[in-house]
Amino acid sequence: MSTTLTPILTKTWGEDRSWTLESYERTQQGYQGLRAALGRERDDLVQALKDSGLRGRGGAGFPTGMKWGFLPPDDGKPRYLVVNADESEPGTCKDIPLMMANPQVLIEGVAITSFAIRCNHAFIYLRGEVAHVYRRLLRAVEEAYAAGHLGKNIHGSGFDLDVTVHAGAGAYICGEETALLDSLEGRRGQPRLKPPFPAVAGLYSRPTVVNNVESIASVPGIALHGADWFGSMGTEKSKGFGIFSLSGHVKRPGQYEAPMGITLRELIDMAGGMRDPEKALKFWTPGGSSTPIFTAEHLDVPLDFDSVASAGSMLGTRALQIFDETVSVVRAVSRWTDFYMHESCGKCTPCREGTWWLSQILHRIEAGQGLQEDIDKLLDICDNILGRAFCALGDGATSPITSAIQYFREEFEAGMHTPAAELFPPAASTLFGSKESVSA
């Protein structure tokens, strides 16, 4: 195995009281990056981020420094940083443990970023369904204020910053950055027409940077150790490290922080192999349910933005959901489609209506009652959503379906006569079912 793990954001997870400011300052050179940044020119910091090659960790992989650079020149009026902590894409589970175990690295990133983009009031929009993470963030902000890392005239620099941690109320679509802004303004979380992009007219119609938790948490390291340090990890076009989240049928599901470009074969090996070596890998998502599925033939695709795209999917959030041969792909896709139907915000017709129809058809295929023309109908509806929906949720809803039909068409055909549960008895896939069979 050539690639090794690079614990940076995850380094102190699990240690006693790792979430406290005391632990952060003692074990991770906490707030040294902020002190260094406050002594630099703001434009230098933006340039350093550009040089680092950091690409957004929230899914789309947009270069972070470039995004900051898009803000119009300072006109003396407010501009905002909004951290996207809505983490709800199925399979994605990195930001939540990060904020639970190491919230201070995010707060330091918020302070450095706000200084760089001339923001005096930053927001962290956290999904509402994670009470303990909200406590840890509220506490982290309190501690940072008390230590003078936030508030007025931070460390004598003349820079003021307030941070508000805001809890959402349950809606996947609020992870989409413009829906998030509407939600933060106290509205229904529905996407806005772009342009204007948030950099020009975002929160309260003011210039706004929206970045993912892990993107912002990567900033202190870059501020402290430099762009070259960051770029020494990863690949040419996907620099640095990222947290890779393994779930499903591997021996040790969990968070593995590694350079961009590691492969699933390497990661599964690190995770102790498949949960049952007798049962082969069948399909997996590289970056959440909205990214087209891969199969065993993609085990050696480097997990960086461009390699995954060339292989026909998207790196997304590095949410690697692993399914072995006991799993019905039809059942998996049908359930994901229910999710998109439930979470469609209803603003545009292709997605609102289309996800409903997709769900109806997939249910009957799953039940073994599919009609002859159903596969073509699914593809046709997907074709009418992809590229025609108002936001990327609609596009994402089509990914699992079209990719699953591409690789496993015969399983959808079997759904014309045989229920998925008969072909793939669900009990064989469960965590506890497998434990029983091991002990038996």
Partner 1 sequence: MAQFGEQTASGHLHVSPESKAPYDADVLAQLRADAETIIARYPVPRSALLPMLHLVQSVDGYITGRGIAVCAEMLDLTLAEVSAVATFYTQYKRHPNGEYTVGVCTNTLCAIMGGDEIWQSVSEHLGIGHDETTADGKITLERIECNAACDYAPVVMTNWEFFDNQTPESTVQLVDDLRAGKDVTPTRGPNKVCTFKQTSRLLAGFNDGLADEGVSAGPASTEGTRLARAKGWVAPGDDAPQANEEVHP
Q: Nearest 5°: phi and psi at 417?
A: -140, -20
Selection from 81, 62, 117 nearest residue 198 by Cα:
81
245 binds partner 1 (CB under 8 A): yes
d(CA 97, CA 13): 8
Taking the least distance from each CB to ligand FMN, the nearer of 215 and 328 is 215
Taking the least distance from each CB to ligand FMN, the nearer of 88 and 328 is 88
Rule CB under 8 A: choose which of 40, 50, 155, 166 binds partner 1: 166
Question: What single letter denotes the amino acid at residue 156?
Answer: G
DSSP-assigned states of every residue in 236-295: SSSBSEEEEEEEESBSS-EEEEEETT--HHHHHHHTTSBSSTTS-EEEEESSSTTS--EE
Site string for ligand FMN, 88-127 (x = CB under 6 A): xx--------------------------------------
Taking the least distance from each CB to partner 1, the nearer of 46 and 330 is 330
**Shortest Cβ distance from residue 362 to partner 1 (Å)?**
12
Which residues are near ligand SF4 by CB under 6 A? 173, 191, 344-348, 351-352, 389-391, 393-394
d(CA 213, CA 130): 15
Taking the least distance from each CB to ligand FMN, the nearer of 340 and 424 is 340
278 binds, among partner 1, ligand SF4, ligand FMN, none (CB under 5 to 8 A by kind): none
229 binds, among ligand FMN, ligand SF4, partner 1, none (CB under 5 to 8 A by kind): partner 1
Token look-up 């983009």 returns 117
Q: Are 15 and 28 in contact (CB under 8 A)?
A: no
Cβ of 204: how many Cβ atoms within 10 Å? 12
Site string for partner 1, 315-334 (x = CB under 8 A): ----x-x-x---x---xx--
84 binds, among ligand SF4, ligand FMN, partner 1, none (CB under 5 to 8 A by kind): ligand FMN
Interaction residues for partner 1, span 179-238 (CB under 8 A): 183-189, 204, 225, 229, 232-233
192 binds ligand FMN (CB under 6 A): no
Q: 126 pairs with which residues across the strands?
A: 85, 167
211 binds ligand FMN (CB under 6 A): yes
Question: What single letter denotes the amino acid at residue 33?
Answer: G
Interaction residues for partner 1, span 263-302 (CB under 8 A): 270-272, 289
392 binds ligand FMN (CB under 6 A): yes
Q: Are strands 319-324 and 254-259 parallel, antiparallel or unpaired?
A: unpaired
Task: Record the tokens describing residue 288, joined without a space.
Answer: 């959440």
Q: Report helix, strand or coil for 124.
A: strand
Residue 358: half-sphere exposure toward Cβ, Cα within 13 Å: 35
Interface ranges with ligand FMN (CB under 6 A): 56-60, 62, 64, 84, 86-89, 173, 175-177, 210-212, 215, 391-393
